[in-house]
Structure 1
Amino acid sequence: MSQEVTHNTDRKRFVITVDGETAGHADYVTPSDDVRDFNHTVINPDFRGKGLSSPLIKTALDETREAGLKAVASCSAVQHFVSKNPEYEDLIRR
Structure 2
Amino acid sequence: MINIEQNDQTFDIYYDAEKAGFMEYNLKEGILEIIHTEVFEEFGGKGLGKELVKTAVEFAKKNNLKIIPLCPYSKRMIEKTPEFRELLA
Q: Structure 1 length as normaliser, TM-score? A: 0.87
Look up the SS of the partner of 1:91 in the other structure. coil
1:66 counterpart letter in structure 2? K
Aligned equivalent of 2:35: 39
Aligned equivalent of 1:83: 79
Give the fraction of aligned pairs with identical amino acids, expressed as a percent: 30
2:24 counterpart letter in structure 1? D
Structure 1 vs Structure 2 CA RMSD: 1.1
- Out of 14, 23, 26, the residue aligned to residue 26 of structure 1 is 23
Aligned equivalent of 1:48: 44
CA distance in 1, matches of 2:52, 2:22: 7
CA distance in 2, matches of 1:15, 1:82: 19
Aligned equivalent of 1:58: 54
Structure 2 unmatched ranges of 5 or more: none
Count of residue correspondences = 89
